[in-house]
Chains A and B, each alone.
Chain A
Amino acid sequence: MTLLTGPSRGVRQGAPRRVSSALRPWLYLSPLLLALGVWIYGPALFTLGLSVLDWNLTTPPTGFVGADNFARLFRSADFWQALGQTLLYAVALLPFSTVVPLLLAIMLWQRPGRASTVYRSLLFLPVMMAPVAVAVSWKFMLNPLLGLANEVVGWFGIPPVNWLGDPSTALLVIVAVTAAKVTAFNMLLYSAALSGLDRRTIEAARLEGASSWEITRFVVAPQLVGTTVLLGTLSLVLAGQWVFTNVTVLTQGGPDGVTDNIYYRIYTLGFEFFETGTASAAAVIVLLVFAVAGIGWRLVRRSHVPR
């Protein structure tokens, strides 16, 4: 096994003291490889396989149906709606992944001190709170008849809104509730990036008489481009996943499928309708999209010469 070599083994013969010095690396790696193989990559392949079978989880699979599952999927309007919604979520959450947390992080970074620390802790709280607890609290506040939300809008003379039951507002609500957590998390990442900046570049700019705005624009911002691109991409790709818990607790994909997305669809297809074949087909499509995005990402990075 020449793939892994212990650090001081000669390339030739001579009885090594402990034979296991070559085995051991594999031993230590086995938990990792097992975990990944059995619970991630195995299932991934399984899903690929499932997508071409006809199986409803309770009786043994009845056979290979090729692309039938995919066909059925493409024929269902729900699927296309869910796909479109996924895109909508991606776009809607993008500013909350990039612009908003960036501004907040910059603000906090400008005035380091106790106040800043307090704000930072408070602003980070949504990340720590259990998503279900938060969702449930919102459900309570958004109750159309008695909830706090309608009370408050009532003060401004607006009639009560059926937040979760009205197709025109349900999506907004989901986005808003999810945005809080996303903003909080990304704000932390931007803060990390900012603290890694070389202060001297800013001081140098200052000595040259640059104004605060110019410093932000020409010195700080360019150094944050990498982080922004990363977070933006992650947001576009993962937005649908981030809203999952909120959708499940608050709207269950409704009303009229307005808050549905491809991930939720997979879940309902698989575990409410037991159409594992179709669900897996949808999952395969998602995997394909990811693969394409990943390769595209790789190509972009390779062509973009690093600083």
Chain B
Amino acid sequence: MSRANHPMRRFGPVLWHTTLTLVAVAMVFPVLWALLTSFKPANDIYSVTPFSAEPTLDNYVRVLADWPVLTLLGNTFVMAAGVAVGQILIAVLGAYTLVHFSQRARGPILVLVTISLAIPPQALIIPQFLMTARLGWLNTDAGLIVPQLGTCALAVLLLVQHVEAMPRSLTNAARLDGARPFEVLWHIVLPALRPAISAVAILVFITTWNEYLWPLLVAPKPEDTTVQIGLTQFQTAEGNDFGGLLAAATLTSIPIVVVYLFASRRITDAFLQSGIK
């Protein structure tokens, strides 16, 4: 991209870099500090120096030994993946049908979907909790996953936009070729939606991974819970073992950071392409 083409250069380079660096540091700092502290031995935990004189993996060892890391990670993964897959299914089927088959029902249904975005979760958790308990789903994967499928609004809206963007002639050609509605979806629409689907899936996965309120209600028991809850419980149980706690936080952040590193482009593109009205 040619410099000359660029519209404006309000801030001098020094100011630019300085400001951005400062803000970036502010954003990254807590995490960075947590990471650094996790390598410090217990007596050094609160030291101000970034690197301890005796860096140690003790905290990690302890966490891995005493804490059901893998169970927690597993539970969280199952929940996040389950919700992502579930919402994608709902959204793909819904978006395809709304755009291609339901001229009249489409408006009202989309309104319902959009409004559901605005309803605060705290207003719904009591009945949601009661229903989940009634179904016997407390402390189960089903209880973690199924109720969270209701927040599929974002997935639906994003996919509706992408399905609409497909040229009608493609689906018409497929219909003319004798494809039945499901075949049109499978052979023509889905391949075209692949980038959108993966972006949405990643987004939903990450959002669900970070979810706190619902798992807190549904799966509070240490063995069955997710990482986020596990972290806070760890704290209560261990009192002031921040070293272990921060090591645990770091360990459990790794999967997400990895996903982020691979997928940040995809995610930002998905947002950029959808545009904001």
User: Which A residues contact B (CB, under 8 angstroms)?
Assistant: 3-8, 18, 21, 24-25, 28-29, 31-33, 35-36, 38-44, 46-47, 50, 57, 104, 106-108, 110-113, 115, 119-126, 128-134, 136-141, 143, 146-148, 151-152, 180, 183-184, 188-189, 191-193, 195-196, 199, 202-203, 206, 212-213, 215-216, 226-227, 230, 237-238, 241, 244-245, 248-249, 263, 266-267, 270-271, 276, 279-280, 283-284, 286-287, 290, 294
- Sample (19) of A-B pairs whose CB atoms are under 8 Å apart: A4-B101, A4-B104, A18-B180, A29-B109, A32-B91, A32-B109, A38-B131, A40-B124, A47-B123, A47-B126, A120-B268, A131-B210, A133-B34, A136-B34, A141-B30, A152-B48, A192-B268, A249-B232, A287-B120
Known: A47-B123, A266-B123. A115 touches B17 (CB 8 A): yes
Whether A43 and B31, one on each chain, are in contact in the complex, defined by CB atoms closer than 8 angstroms, is: no
The CA of A138 and the CA of B230, in the complex, are separated in Å by 17
Interface size (B, Cβ < 8 Å)?
A: 101
- The 8 Å CB contact of A124, one of B93, B124, B151, B264, is B264
For B253, the closest partner residue in chain A by CB is A133
What 10 A-B pairs are tightest by C-beta distance, nearest first?
A39-B150, A46-B127, A146-B46, A32-B94, A43-B127, A283-B123, A137-B34, A202-B7, A133-B249, A43-B124
- The 8 Å CB contact of A244, one of B6, B37, B213, is B213
Whether A32 and B90, one on each chain, are in contact in the complex, defined by CB atoms closer than 8 angstroms, is: yes
What chain A residues lie within 8 Å of B122 (beta carbons)? 241, 244, 263, 266-267, 283, 286
Asked if B128 CB lies within 8 Å of chain A CBs, one says: yes
Minimum CB–CB distance for B267 against chain A, Å: 9
- The 8 Å CB contact of B212, one of A29, A33, A248, is A248
- From 90 to 137 in chain B, residues with beta carbon under 8 angstroms from any chain A beta carbon are 90-91, 93-94, 96-98, 100-105, 109, 112-113, 115-116, 118-131
Whether A38 and B125, one on each chain, are in contact in the complex, defined by CB atoms closer than 8 angstroms, is: no
Minimum CB–CB distance for A70 against chain B, Å: 15
What chain A residues lie within 8 Å of B147 (beta carbons)? 39
- From 148 to 164 in chain B, residues with beta carbon under 8 angstroms from any chain A beta carbon are 149-152, 156
Asked if B51 CB lies within 8 Å of chain A CBs, one says: no
**What DSSP secondary structure best describes chain A's contact surface?**
helix
Asked if B275 CB lies within 8 Å of chain A CBs, one says: yes
Minimum CB–CB distance for B261 against chain A, Å: 9
Whether B7 and A215, one on each chain, are in contact in the complex, defined by CB atoms closer than 8 angstroms, is: yes
Known: A47-B127, A112-B1. A107 touches B46 (CB 8 A): no
Whether B126 and A276, one on each chain, are in contact in the complex, defined by CB atoms closer than 8 angstroms, is: yes
- The 8 Å CB contact of B33, one of A31, A132, A148, is A148
Asked if B139 CB lies within 8 Å of chain A CBs, one says: no
Whether B126 and A279, one on each chain, are in contact in the complex, defined by CB atoms closer than 8 angstroms, is: yes
Asked if B55 CB lies within 8 Å of chain A CBs, one says: no
